Structure 1
Amino acid sequence: MDDKQAMHAMSIDDAYHVERTLARGPSGVTELVSIDGNGPFVRKKIPSPLAQRNVWAVLSACQSNRLPRVEATYELPDRFVIVYDYVPGSTLAQIVEENGRLAPNVAVQLIDQICEAVQELHQHGVIHRDITPANIILARDGAHLIDFGIARVWSASSNRSRDTTALGTYGFASPEQYGFAKTDARSDVFSLGRLLGFMLTGVYPDASDYEQRLADDAAVPARLRTVIGYACAFEPSKRPQSVQEFRQALFSQSNPPMPNASSANPPSPSTTNDVTSASRLFRRLHLSKRAIVLWSIVGAALVVAAIAGGIVLAGQLGIIGSATSPDSSTQSSSQSTDKADGGHSSNGSGTDNANGTGGVVGTDGADGDNQDTVTDNPLKIVESGWSADQQGYVHYAFALRNTSKTQQVQYPQITITGRAKDGSIVFSQTQALNMAFPNQTVYDAGQAGEGTAPETVDFTVLNPDTYNVAKAQGTAAFPISGISKIDNRDGGTTFNGEVRAVADGFKPSDGQQIKISLVLRNAQNAIIYGDIAFVDWPGNGRSTPFSITVYDLPKYVSYDLYAQIW
């Protein structure tokens, strides 16, 4: 973008009046705006490396009233901006949390409306991949589907065996979103089935009593329970092959043969805690906690009225990280003597992979003349490493240190870039953390790539935005104890432990979580693999257990477990 284009884009941006900021996080800023007395509209400013421009372009062509109506898109020097219509009200998650399960006729009407939105997306080649109660808006004209943060353009002819990384909300994400296969339209069908189960039972699919409630004939008609089992089959070929087939099963008078509704549960994401409260809306496996930006009112089958700033319900509202084993060319970076707060180490049972070679440790990023970022970046990468599995996907971990003695950095971002032997870029993606407290070293991990193994991987710290750097108002540490490693009969390995939350002046938000990072090392103590898990905040001074189950690990001699705020 040249200076003239930048000035033109900024003039467009300045024409909007910001009514209020709805959300701010690693995936961008969401605002309620108006222009020339028109609105309100929702404006999302997404960091350029994270923007799914093709998805938003396709969304602009969609005709369903149950999808956001895109009013405008434009580019800023470092942001991609979308402006779309605003729908006031409450999320489906809020409605069920406040009022309990929905009557079957109401649930069926809502799921059919959501199917209308998803079917329109699929006809335009987009899969949503995050159909959850938090992403459903209930308005006077019925249900609306929002949040396209992990949506992607999909093609039935794609030859990819699986997707880049594990994404989605646990309980609603399909098994293939955990690395079992590539995602396609049937992945959204799985989520629709889980969403219907949530509405009929009033609890999340990973709650301890979900199956019991689903089996209750008084709450869930047998035919609907069968349809849920059909949609939620573990194997995609056993599900309805399209949203249209799912809708046909929903309204059919006959029951198709299918597995039990509980048979499609993917591996646990590492926590033994059950989730029964709708306030815990986010159980992500990667760039998590994208804020919900639209609120809505239940209409059509669900009638509500806004009174004194609250929402009063009336009408018919309910009566009542795993991977494939790497090849011998596992590569890893140099290591540091720094240890993260809350880290715990142990010897592993594997042997050293002697064929590993040194990767490139990234340096601080720069954003040129952008005055919205700090010029003296306090963030440093002190350790990093990775390995590529047989399918070419990269499993990495890194340590990020905040060298400031007084400043905390919120939403620090690291760009992970894989390069071929000739130096060309194989992949590049940005990983965001939640917080780096003063003098804290944070370990994070994940999966990257598009299925082509790189020769080297660079880890580069981006300069944080000025508004994300501030004097620390408190700190939090997470010591880990009681660790153990169990080799399972199915070939997996489970790493267990207990993490304690120690907050000093730090006030956790509602739904606060702790992110656990597993780091594997070779005989040279270099990182060769990483994976992650999440647990709910147990309360200050309290502990909570966790487990991380992984499969087909590279050979290693020791492992570390670290924890950070999420």
Structure 2
Amino acid sequence: MDDKQTMHAMSIDDSYHVERVLARGAAGVTELVSIAGAGPFVRKKIPTQLARRRVWSALADCRSARLPQVQATYELPDCFVVVYDYVEGPTLDQVVNERGRMPIEQAVRVIEQVCEAVQELHKHGIVHRDISPSNIILAADGAHLIDLGIARMKTEQATHDTTTLGTWGFASPEQYGFAQTDARSDVYSIGRMFGYLLTGVYPDDAAYEKTLADESIVPPHLRAIILKSCAFEPSARQQSAEDLRLEALGLRNPRAEAHTKVSNSRHSATQQHDKRKPRWSIPRIFAASVAPVFIASVIVIVAAVAFSFYAAERFDGGNGSDATPQHSDSATTDGGEASDNGESQTANAENPLKIVESGWSAENGYTIYAFGITNTSDTLQILYPSVSVTGRDDKGLVIFSDTATLNVISPGQTLHISGQAGDGVAPDTVDFATIAPDDYQISESQGSITLTPTGVNAVAYDGGVTFAGEVKAQIEGTVDTAFTMANVTVVLRDDDGTIIYGKSTYVDMPENGGSTPFSIPIHDPPRYASYEVYAQSW
């Protein structure tokens, strides 16, 4: 670097305001920073000799919202600096230490999301090499993979890694000199983390193997998947994070059909191994067979029926920033009223699901959306109601596609949910379409959980608004007591009452008659006139 370049980089560095130091050590310093009122961001200052510039350059090309979003990189005389978005939330380590082992459905949801992030890294030639519970943030919108401090680009024709790295108990054998690390090394670490989430025991603990073998804690088919992913020989593992994700979800079953039974249901269906499920769908039961080296028979799992309900409380809103959002009132986002035919979005006339409203805005190119979905049936509940979200450019060409899946929708119930989609390119229109449920998703309703947001308060702070309050639960009839979380969603509306923005968080499920506090901060919200808060079991 010449003097001019050095002075320029130092002026950029000085523009950031350090909120607090997150970590400091031989690998550098990590800080929480802001700049000109924007942020917060994470700033990593990595000693020059340890900087892996190719990794950070490749990461900037990744298009997964579950990976750090690189904002800037620059060089200082003694270090390489990278700035990326800050994700708020506890680590998986903190969650398990506080609450113990995770419910199966939540653990599978986390593993699915981690696999999505890791698959995107591998697509760009990056091997993370330190996938562990302390490097996964459980944010309001799910799991985020962080800390690429020891990640490396995949090296062809190398025989072994030169340095022992990784987190003990989660690092693969390759990381201790047995072979070269590659995508299968990260598969090993994900498998070890899967076992940790289900057992609540660290893999290097003497009690881990015994707990993992306890069928009352870990279903046999999931244990088989974990053992496969953690095989000593890389060729014996799932060969990609995507393969592991599909096996965990029960969507890949090379030898047999996976059968699902729904209790209290008049409907049942046989699911083939290649049956496509929505990307966000996390069934409460998982039935799958794995490679013959582990198991040769078909596993039949009986699922519990899931019930939930929602409640909304509407309030007068305030004004956020002057950002102009884009929105829609219909399933096709072209304005006007939502279709009255019950399902303009699907050809299935028996589909009881109907989108009643939707809206979105493009923040920094990424699409923030929210929608309301109704179950028009008088008696039937729908497990995992799903909606496809498709962004198109001004020529009508698809630029992104996503699937939002809720837990369960009771007869006559309307649910609201928010999400984020896209890869940084703002769409011209966004379409919302319900996905017709399969027979196994439909059953007679036996009860409900009503979650009511109460005492909601909008507290303004410099640059944003925090929506806080409590969620109260009322349980009627027979319900699935396995629900452990409540989803709370705040929806912002314009002067006409149209949705323009949404944000969700997750809190512990209240006891019957009890309540749980929640807080949803929105930094730099779009200009809004009113808001509503909704809640549902998860």
- TM, length-normalised to structure 1: 0.46
- More strand by proportion, 1 or 2? 2
